[in-house]
Structure 1
Amino acid sequence: MAGHSNHPDKHHGAHGMHHGGHQDDAAFLETNRNHWNKFAASYSSEPWQKDMLNKVNAFIYANIKWIGVDFVDPSTTFEVTDPGQAKKVRVLDYACGPGTITHALSSRATEYVGIDLSENMVQAYNLRFNSATTDANSGDEFLNAHAEVGNLLTTEEPPETFSGAKYHDFDLVVVGLGFHHFSDVRLATKRLVERLRPGGVFLILDFVTHAMEAEEHPELKATANTVAHHGFSEQELKEIFAGAGLRGFAIVRMGDEVYIRGKSKRQPFMARGSKI
């Protein structure tokens, strides 16, 4: 996913999922790109990273129906069907990093398009899902998945490169652990929702913030107000999604915690909405 740092504290280092982009600040973008380029080779080398990836995968599996996409049944992947009748499920994995979300969804979709700021993350993604280079024992089966370097979140119109049919009418647009890195989340959400087909689902996977915790535990509110962090309350997310033309907002929390660098506790959540 868009692997930035691991949540509110921007310099945690990373999780193997990924990051997004401070679209209007060229210096920030360059710093971000360079950081993730360096990080691409070791995104899952630490025990805490592996633990987080395993828990996130399990969280996605457990809520696959909740996501609201009519996915392909993985058990039918190799059944011979009439190509003209075969179901197509297209996913845009934005700020894709090395492909954590793509790997988690796997053969439930028939096509994945990844986009990331980092050239090295894109390279890692493409090596991971390329049948010619995928190790049969690595657990990363061949998927119809390809990533490209790019940024769709500029205030200007996105580059001509991303204007074709290949980059529109997705059944699912997903941002994994990158949403909190977007400088203008309202613009980012609108830009990404534009890529969905009507009825398509916009999904983010991120970390529960102090603001969300305070909503459930009022006694934390005084403390939360003293903490400067880049987070969103559930109400804020609901308004951001509605403002981008999404309906049916829903949120689900993991109910378990992951540890960033083995120290900072975070609870992942997923939030979704459907394009009107």
Structure 2
Amino acid sequence: MAEHTEHTEKNRQYFDNLAKSYKDSFKPVLDGICRNVTARRTWISDTWTDTEAGQGKEIKVLDYACGTGVVSLTLAPFVSKIVGMDVADNMINQFNQNAHDAGFGDKMSAIKGDLLSETLSDELSGPEYSDFDIVVVSAALHHFEKPELAMSRFCQRLKKGGVCLIIDIVPDHHRMAHDFGEAEHTVTNHGFTEEQMRQLHEGAGLNEDFRYQSMNEQFVYQKDGKQRTLTFFLSRGQRA
């Protein structure tokens, strides 16, 4: 396994500690994301096991920075295989337990992996870690030290025509920056505009059929003793 950068190590430690309480602490946010992914599934892609375009095909998904697997669990009924990947051991353990408990253990599993390292591990070079139909990254891009590198690495894992789906935070122009509390030291961006996401997708070679939609609702949750509010977006682009 390649060595983590200092910033990635901060993320690993923070999310390892958060894993057991993550689902409860962020429940309104996670429920809202999954509700919107479900409602926009055909906007994300027309290729699922229950659609004409996906009929008879093996549909593979990479859920990067997968956390406990809430988005994977939402998509699992409509795909053939999901690989979760995270740098935090405890998140991986929770993901795999949740997959088992939901009855998806045969098609959904997570491993430890860092695609954002300067030098990629040989362990992640096998065919099982490439040619994905969809790469999804939910509520994580704002934690990445180099979003441009991340998007490029995601593009490399997709098959031609595959979709990269990013779910992240709409910038809060009223407060200028979100208050992330104890997580602040892991955050590198306080949200992304449509134009920023367009540039990130296109710069990575994900420049076919770019789309961006705000979820147009605010998710309120309690963290670090404070009430916090976030609005999320979905963006997608396809590998040329």
- For the aligned pair, the TM-score class normalised by the smaller chain equals 0.7 to 0.9
2:218/2:229 contact within 8 Å kept: yes
Aligned pairs for 1:138-157 (under 5 A) are 140-143=102-105, 144-156=107-119
The list of structure 1 runs, each at least 4 consecutive aligned residues, that deviate by more than 6 angstroms after superposition, is none
Amino acid at match of 1:184: K
1:14 paired residue number: none
Determine if the alignment matches structure 1 residue 242 to structure 2 residue 212.
no
Runs of 5+ unmatched residues, structure 2: 180-187
Shift of 1:27: 3.0
Match of 2:146 among 166, 181, 184: 184
The separation in 1 between residues aligned to 2:3 and 2:142, in whole angstroms, is: 15
Shift of 1:45: 2.2
2:89 paired residue number: 119
Query: Could you say which structure has the higher strand fraction?
Result: 2
2:238 paired residue number: 274
The alignment-based identity, stated in percent, is 32
Shift of 1:107: 1.1
1:69/1:171 contact within 8 Å kept: no
Query: Could you say which structure has the higher helix fraction?
Result: 2
Determine if the alignment matches structure 1 residue 96 to structure 2 residue 73.
no
Distance 1:25 1:231, change over 3 A: farther
The alignment's TM-score, normalised by the length of structure 1, stands at: 0.75
1:39 paired residue number: 18
2:36 paired residue number: 59
The alignment's TM-score, normalised by the length of structure 2, stands at: 0.85
2:4/2:114 contact within 8 Å kept: no
1:8 paired residue number: none
2:4/2:117 contact within 8 Å kept: no
Q: Secondary structure at the match of 2:97?
A: helix
- Residue by residue over 1:26-49, the C-alpha shift from the partner in whole angstroms, topping out at 9 and shown as x without a partner, is 333222212111111111224xx2
The separation in 2 between residues aligned to 1:30 and 1:184, in whole angstroms, is: 14
Determine if the alignment matches structure 1 residue 129 to structure 2 residue 129.
no
Distance 1:142 1:200, change over 3 A: same
Rg larger in structure = 1
The separation in 2 between residues aligned to 1:206 and 1:170, in whole angstroms, is: 21
1:15 paired residue number: none
Shift of 1:234: 1.3
- Residue by residue over 1:63-112, the C-alpha shift from the partner in whole angstroms, topping out at 9 and shown as x without a partner, is 011002401129xxxxxxxxxx8321100000000101101112111100
Distance 1:253 1:190, change over 3 A: same
Q: Secondary structure at the match of 2:42?
A: coil
1:19 paired residue number: none
1:98/1:125 contact within 8 Å kept: yes
The separation in 1 between residues aligned to 2:216 and 2:9, in whole angstroms, is: 35
Q: Secondary structure at the match of 1:155?
A: coil
Aligned pairs for 1:260-271 (under 5 A) are 260-261=221-222, 263-271=227-235
Q: Secondary structure at the match of 2:216?
A: coil
Determine if the alignment matches structure 1 residue 167 to structure 2 residue 129.
yes
1:153/1:188 contact within 8 Å kept: yes
